[in-house]
Chains A and B, each alone.
Chain A
Amino acid sequence: MIMTILRRTIITRSHSIVYSILILALLSWLSLTALGLINSLFWLYEGFLGVNEGLVISARGFSPLTALISRSEIEQKISSISNITIEYYLVTPILINNRVFVLRSINSSNLSINCLFISENIARELGVRVGDRLLASSIFTSEIYELEVCGYTNGYVFEAPYDLVLKIRGVSPGYYSYAIIRGPSEALSSVIKSLGVRPEESRLTGLIVAVFSRISSNETRVVLHRAITEAYITSFGLQRDYIVYFAYTIAVASILGSLIVGLDIVRRVKSVFKVFRLLGVSKRTIMIVLILLSVLTVFTASILALLLHRYVGVFTLSVFNYTLKPRVEGELVLVVFSVLLILYILGLLIGVIREVE
């Protein structure tokens, strides 16, 4: 009987239900977009630097462009651990024709010291090809360098031999911005232990970020983070949790309107339920039908919202020529749609209490 009442209600009030679904879908799409954009800021450096897994070691700083680690210090700590590979990178900002780009070191002895690899899109924007020369200014040393375009990269970061990046960054040899250690989880666990952190404090899959902060001239403390960006923003005093709460507040606030949509749907289906009540249908059955209807409405709206998120890419952010798109993960989707369902049912219940009785 419940299914019959539900079907009849949907058929007789299809316009109102479609109207609600559309509003809820648009609201949850906007909510997901806001959450996704704030979440994508947490993964800025991961996408920008192309780091997805492994143990990243860096130092306390505002960004990888200012942090410095000593290779000898790290190797001293992990010298006894085998079965791991370590890649060291030095990154620095450079100015070309008044625009800021990021230059990262590559280890290759075959390249000339002035060699520069740039992204094909940026090369087109700057009007340069392989073999052309560029003048780049260093923000750290105030010097101008002549660089020769030797080839193209796939990412957003320019690449050059370590010795050149070292000069532009203005630091002594042996210093890097970050290191990536890869290997089996047992080996990474040993690395974390040797850095002075208990391995059980971290999960050993995906990405782990260990940040060195100097306590005294010969003593360092290592703090683990879940993401590279998160590790750097803590230097501003901003904890991940503050931003997460802020993002969730915005997401929840933007779908508050679903409560009024819930209230409205009761008013629209009231007359249909009156007929069913006259036919002898119990209040309980009508309540179950209403809840089923709301679940169905929210479910359809959620699918529509996900489709909108997938195909409508209106919202983006740009940092260092790198475009950030909303990054929506499973738990964020679950939170948004759960809150949407709760608010919608709450509106519905308020409507029932105020109008149906």
Chain B
Amino acid sequence: MQFLIVTRTLLLSAIRKRLYTTLLASLLAPILLLIVLLSIPDLSSLNYMFIDANRPILVVSSVKNSENCYLATLLEGSLIVDNSSLKTSILIISAKALRVLRELGLTKQYNYTSGVVLSGDLYEALKKPRVITVLVNQDIHNYTIAGLWGSNIVLLIDDSLEIQLDKYVCLKPRGEFLSNLLGIFENDLLNTAVLWIFILSLIYMPIVYIAQRRVIEALKVDVNVLVECGVSIRRVLLSIVSVLVVLHVIIVLYISALGVVLVYTGWSLLSYILPLPMPTLRAIIIQLLLFEILLGFLTAYPACRGVIE
């Protein structure tokens, strides 16, 4: 009970003497910077600027990393038309041709389950055949020309070929790569910001210690009165530490709230002149705020010991 009364007396005295201003000044920079830097907008939301973001693209991968993936392999094969043969690289995809080709937009009317896509130049050189013979691994198959593209390889889509397939070909929306790219950049940016803020908070630890010492020095008269009234030094020390911690927590919360209001107000004003997405408050902010509070706890006792012997 006595502890609570002593703590309340010292706290009220600190507030009356406006000692919180020194603490506020020492905590303002690290906490405001923490809120501002970690509230940058989610960069992956910028993919709206990418035209045709939903258009799928074919990606070769060594692992299956989405639902829309098919087994595939790249082989040297031959295209045979009218007794003339041409060696070329063939990308074999084990899938229904109709689905893949429609998704890629290479054809709209193709109804077969298998087919071949050639480069325009090759198609011209082979005298525009409708059907082509493909020789792969000593097996000969006839395929209809399903479409044309500009690539330097031949695309063969057939799910009935018995061949060893060592790769995956996946159909992924174009926008996903931009989002991933922006996401990687955002992560890197946030990791750097978190490390920077962490080091800044550690550097501000002695500054917070200085501010806490100033608060205690200003409360020295009150402490002397309390000691003369019969309160033990140990209890006063504990009360002063509690006062510092309470003030520290209140100020950290106050600056955080101020920071959030400032970020959102600033962003709203900026959005009148810039097409900016809204800021994103991240969970890491809470962890770093707790770290700031912990630093306040750690410096409070040494600061008290330095002034009150």
Contacts and interface: CB of A to CB of B under 8 A. Distances in A.
Given A27-B203, A167-B150, A144 B192 contact: no
B230 interface: no
A146 B74 contact: yes
Nearest to B74: A135
B291 interface: no
B40 to A, nearest CB: 11
Interface in B24-48: 25-26, 28-29, 32-33, 36-37
A257 B207 contact: yes
A98 B61 contact: yes
A144 B155 contact: yes
A253 B32 contact: yes
B33 A261 contact: no
B192 A250 contact: no
Nearest to A166: B150
B189 interface: yes
A238 B33 CA distance: 21
Interface residues of B, number: 56
B89 interface: yes
Q: Determine chain B's interface SS by DSSP, over half rule.
A: helix
A34 B199 CA distance: 12
Interface stretch (B9-17, B50-58, B238-246, B282-290): B50-58
A170 B150 contact: yes
A33 interface: yes
Interface string A86-107: 0000000101011010000000
A254 B200 contact: yes
A155 B308 CA distance: 62
Nearest to B93: A144
B62 interface: yes
B192 A37 contact: yes
A300 interface: no
Given A95-B177, A146-B74, A264 B61 contact: no
A254 B55 contact: no
Contacts of B199: 26, 30, 314
A139 B207 contact: no
B189 A30 contact: no
Nearest to A264: B210
Interface in A241-291: 242, 250, 253-257, 259-261, 263-264, 267
Interface string A56-87: 00000010000000000000000000000000
Contacts of A237: 273-276
B272 to A, nearest CB: 11
A318 interface: yes
Contacts of A167: 150-152
A239 B280 CA distance: 22
B153 to A, nearest CB: 5
A9 interface: no
Contacts of A267: 214
B129 interface: no
Given A23-B206, A237-B273, A143 B60 contact: no
Given A135-B60, A315-B195, 7 more contacts: A23-B207, A34-B196, A114-B152, A142-B58, A142-B104, A237-B274, A319-B188
Closest 9 CB pairs of A and B: A142-B57, A143-B151, A257-B207, A135-B60, A256-B29, A237-B274, A264-B210, A26-B203, A146-B153
8 contacts: A26-B203, A137-B58, A139-B174, A139-B177, A144-B151, A144-B155, A254-B200, A260-B207
Interface of B: 22, 25-26, 28-29, 32-33, 36-37, 49, 55-62, 65, 74, 89, 91, 104-105, 149-153, 155, 167, 169, 174, 177, 180-181, 184-185, 188-189, 192, 195-196, 199-200, 203-204, 206-207, 210-211, 214, 273-276
